[in-house]
Amino acid sequence: MTESNKASHIQWQPYQIDAAARARLKGHQSTVLWFTGLSGSGKSTVANALEQALLARGVHTYLLDGDNVRHGLCADLGFSAADRSENLRRVAAVADLMVDAGLVVLSAFISPLREQRERVKQMLPPGKFLEIYIATPLEECEKRDVKGLYKKARAGEIQQFTGISDPYEAPEAADLVLNTAEFSLEQSVQLLLDLLVARAIIPAPAK
């Protein structure tokens, strides 16, 4: 059976419980916060701290991390351009399911190309994608080099490394820009919480 024949036999199964019902149950809206930036910029650190703050507010969340998904969901993928694209497609498909389940999804991926991030956005329901640009400069990321990747890239041991031998296209209209060399972790988290309240995704804290 060809791919086209397979697709023609697949139909969407409707159910009675939808995202709006789950939002009423949970007391908040669902969305995807897409953290993009260079390796070492602080994407996972900020996302992790935000998730803890959201948990304290009773918000239902899940964190999808670029390294972690390659241990399972994307374990069969390499780092070619095609595999990187497929990696993000799978993550977007999972994030879409989680949004429908009523979760605030925190996705931390370098996702260096604007086209890649736009594709992710188009896979999600309208209004369910917030682009968070962790705009930490390359010099600071390389100084941190928490995984030793920049050293290997500079030595030619890692090919096609974003920021060194491969380009990074900064967002042109991110919903929030954070430079972790300038903002503390606490400040970054507060700015993200303020954004979620302003967008009516989570309720404002009781006074």
Q: Measure the CA–CA gap between 142 and 150, rounded to whole angstroms.
A: 6
- Cα pseudo-dihedral 130, 144, 181, 79, rounded to 10: -20
Q: Measure the CA–CA gap between 60 and 55, rounded to whole angstroms.
A: 7
Determine whether 188 is an active site residue: no
Active-site hit among 111, 165, 184, 188: 111
Indicate left, alpha or beta for 129 from its phi (over 0: left) and psi (-120 to 50: alpha): beta
The answer to whether the beta carbons of residues 31 and 201 sit under 8 Å apart is yes
Q: Active-site positions?
A: 111
